[in-house]
């Protein structure tokens, strides 16, 4: 069975879900660090 990469929407949703559990500044830093992994 082949494994597919998550869609752009799934990638963004995962990043936001992870950041949403953190204080605002920590969430902003996490999103900033992962900005190059976000789809264009």
pLDDT given at position 35 = 85
Residue-level pLDDT at 5: 85
Tell me, yes or no, whether 30 lies in a domain.
yes
Domain span at 22: 8-37
φ, ψ of residue 21 to 5 degrees: the values are -85, 0
Contacts of 26 (CB under 8 A, 6+ apart): 19
Q: For residue range 1-40, what is the model confidence (pLDDT) as tens digits?
A: 568 888 888 988 998 999 999 999 999 998 899 888 777 7
This prediction has a pTM of: 0.68
Q: Answer yes or no: is 28 within a domain.
A: yes
Q: Which of 36, 38, 20 is CA-nearest to residue 28?
A: 20
User: Which of the 8 DSSP states describes residue 37?
Assistant: G
Report pLDDT for 1. Answer: 57
Taking the C-alpha atoms of residue 21 and residue 19, their distance in angstroms, rounded to an integer, is 5
Count how many domains the chain has.
1
- Among 5, 8, 29, smallest CA distance to 19 is for 29
């Amino acid at each position: 069975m082949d494994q597919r990469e998550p869609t752009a929407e799934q990638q963004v949703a995962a990043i936001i879900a992870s950041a949403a559990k953190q204080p605002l500044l920590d969430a902003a830093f996490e999103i900033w660090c992962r900005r190059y992994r976000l789809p264009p």
